[in-house]
Structure 1
Amino acid sequence: MTGTRSCSVDGCDRDHYAHGLCMTHYQRQRRHGSPEIVHRRGRKPRAEQEARR
């Protein structure tokens, strides 16, 4: 066996953590059901807030 395993998500070269995923993608998988989903926290951009008025 050569080297360590890496994350199975395309374009990610982080080290394997669990179930073929790195820590970041594993946590996304657990939280959202997919390692590809990204949810930004915090307030919406100002332009989007003003458009709602």
Structure 2
Amino acid sequence: MTKQVAVLVGSNSTTSVSKIVARYLQSIDPASIQLNFVEISDLPLYDRDLDAQEVA
């Protein structure tokens, strides 16, 4: 069974060192692990003011 691992890189830059390292790890990961990249630009930004709002 393949284990799914989410990888979050904290930069959108194509020259980000952490993104380069993560892509390298993806190229050498064993068949039992699948790295899934979560783009930080796809995540909503945290807004503390929204915490006080009631969720419907």
Larger Cα Rg: Structure 1 or Structure 2? 1
Structure showing the higher strand proportion among its residues: 2
TM-score in terms of structure 2 length: 0.26
TM-score in terms of structure 1 length: 0.27
Structure showing the higher helix proportion among its residues: 2
